[in-house]
Amino acid sequence: MRKIAVVLISVLLGITTGCTSKNAVNSPAPAPAATTKSDIPYTMETIAEGLNVPWEMDIAKDGRIFFTERPGHLRVIEKGRLNPEPLITFEAPFISTGEGGLLGLALDPSFMDNHYIYVYHTYRDKDQIKNRVLRLIESNNKARLDKVLIAGLPGAENHNGGRIKIGPDMLLYITSGDRYDPPLAQDLNSTGGKILRIGLDGSIPASNPFKNSPVYSLGHRNPQGLAWHPETGQLYSSEHGQTAHDEINLIEPGGNYGWPLIEGEESSSPEKANLKTPLLHSGKETWAPSGAAFVRIGPWKGSLLVAGLRGERLIKLNLKGPKYDSVASVEHLFQGIFGRLRNVYEGPDGSLYIMTNNRDGRGKPKQGDDKIIRLKPNF
């Protein structure tokens, strides 16, 4: 597919940086506005356009880019060209309604040998909306169902979570939302409002913090981003707050992140003393943070990037301390330039990929939307 440059120098001059709301935890000092091309040390190009709400992507060792579209298509970009035919199109009981549909995606670490692809999708079970994680097998850019790994995750029109990632421990991490039923997030008998961890075969790891349970952490409202620090291996998550108070959390096994008991800020009451508070929250501002990624190589090495939907920005965090458990600085990039951003992903060569979601029912589609945009490092 023809690659199209999407940002001219004049647009680059309009990219701004900044800090979080004054109400945010660990609020850093304001950063200066970007005024030169060198402030964005990447060359930008569109690698796919005219997409229908792309949600997640992963890159195989043979260079193919696999990605999901929320209405139910698993697609591939091969040798720079978007294949017009999906690998698979999901049908009933699959549904795409509200924020639900075909969401998370991860390729198996041994994909080149076993061709396993993991996906998260919404489905209807009688009169209820639920979510599940499937394992697919790919062959010649076609995919078929191999196994249901976990099913019955609470679902609704909104708050479906949906991110899946394979961690450094080779286990599958899954984010689930509270389906607009906040008490589920505190109920250990429910998989709603949690970060879950299972084996790549669907088994429950013996090392999970709660015996015979897939629950890894609880007290989440609608977490949509997962990323591991490249040095410490610590897990971080992004989470949608209620109207505002969006959060970036450092996740501990068995940790309770407070929803709906607390949100965004600390509480001094004794009964809430063991609840985890975020590294950073948006205060009265709304970011609607979704996909997240640590930059391992390239100009922004070490930064945590988080895509913002309603905030229409890429949030760039620099962490500090021996455990990287506090925020040194925050920059808000591309504000309003690309519209709603669903995901950010780092490729093996240090290229960054961002996905727009202007056709998700809440955005204002621009020419060519939705897009996958590549930021290639200027080494």
Q: Would residue 159 show up in a list of annotated catalytic residues for this protein?
A: yes
Q: Are 152 and 94 in contact (CB under 8 A)?
A: no
Expressed in angstroms, the distance from the first to the final Cα of the chain is: 25
Closest listed residue to residue 192, CA positions, set 147, 162, 235: 162
Catalytic residue among 73, 115, 121, 159: 159
Locate tokens 């943070």: which residue? 289
According to DSSP, the β-strands at 215-218 and 194-198 are antiparallel
Closest listed residue to residue 160, CA positions, set 190, 131, 201, 136: 131
| Cβ-proximal residues to 251 (8 Å cutoff; 6+ apart), any chain | 195, 216, 217, 234, 235, 236, 237, 257
| Cβ-proximal residues to 4 (8 Å cutoff; 6+ apart), any chain | 45, 46, 49, 368
| Ramachandran sector of residue 61 (left: φ over 0; alpha: ψ -120 to 50; beta: rest) | alpha
Quote the CA–CA distance of 243 and 313 in Å, as a whole number. 17
**HEC states along 304-338?**
EEEEECCCCEEEEEEEECCCCCEEEEEEEECCCCC
Q: Are 83 and 77 in contact (CB under 8 A)?
A: yes
Which three-class secondary structure state does DSSP give residue 94?
Answer: strand
Radius of gyration for the chain, computed over Cα atoms and rounded to the nearest angstrom: 19
Which three-class secondary structure state does DSSP give residue 270?
Answer: helix
Quote the CA–CA distance of 155 and 115 in Å, as a whole number. 28
Query: Which residues belong to the active site?
Result: 159
